[in-house]
């Protein structure tokens, strides 16, 4: 069972680390997307969320302070889900469905992170 947990940590942590790095390599694009959603200081917000993802991902990969890594990822997912994926405000039907799917996926990740938080 330990190998399954290790593989899960590496996969999830690696994905979060990659997403965080993407916040820096795609800073202009992601900042513009945040700006279009009404995020104040979108470039700073993109950088901060990238750091949250990277630190949370590294925490899972190294299994170093996993409680704090989980908290950082919870902060990221709660903020981004509520600010960036407000599907109820989208008028275009296709885009609304896309935002709703992303919102629901993020809510499921939030739920799993809360479960992990109770074990670490």
Q: Each residue of 40-65: pLDDT tens digit?
A: 999 999 999 999 999 999 999 999 99
Name the band, by pLDDT with cuts 50, 70 and 90, for residue 9: very high
Q: How many residues does the chain have?
A: 120
Residues 63, 15, 105, 67, Cα dihedral to 10°: 20
Residue 1 pLDDT > 80: no
pLDDT in tens, 67-113: 999 999 999 999 999 999 999 999 999 999 999 999 999 999 999 99
For residue 64, give Cα distances in angstroms to 26, 58, 61, 68, 78: 27, 8, 8, 9, 22
């Amino acid at each position: 069972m330990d190998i399954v947990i290790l593989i899960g940590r590496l996969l999830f942590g690696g994905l979060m680390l990659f997403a965080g790095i993407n916040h820096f390599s795609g800073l202009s694009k992601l900042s513009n997307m945040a700006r279009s959603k009404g995020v104040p200081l979108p470039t700073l917000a993109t950088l901060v969320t990238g750091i949250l993802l990277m630190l949370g991902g590294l925490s899972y990969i190294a299994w170093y302070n996993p409680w704090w890594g989980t908290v950082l990822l919870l902060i990221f997912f709660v903020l981004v889900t509520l600010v960036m994926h407000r599907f109820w405000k989208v008028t275009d039907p296709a885009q609304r469905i896309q935002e709703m799917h992303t919102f629901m996926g993020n809510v499921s990740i939030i739920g799993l992170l809360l479960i992990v938080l109770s074990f670490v």
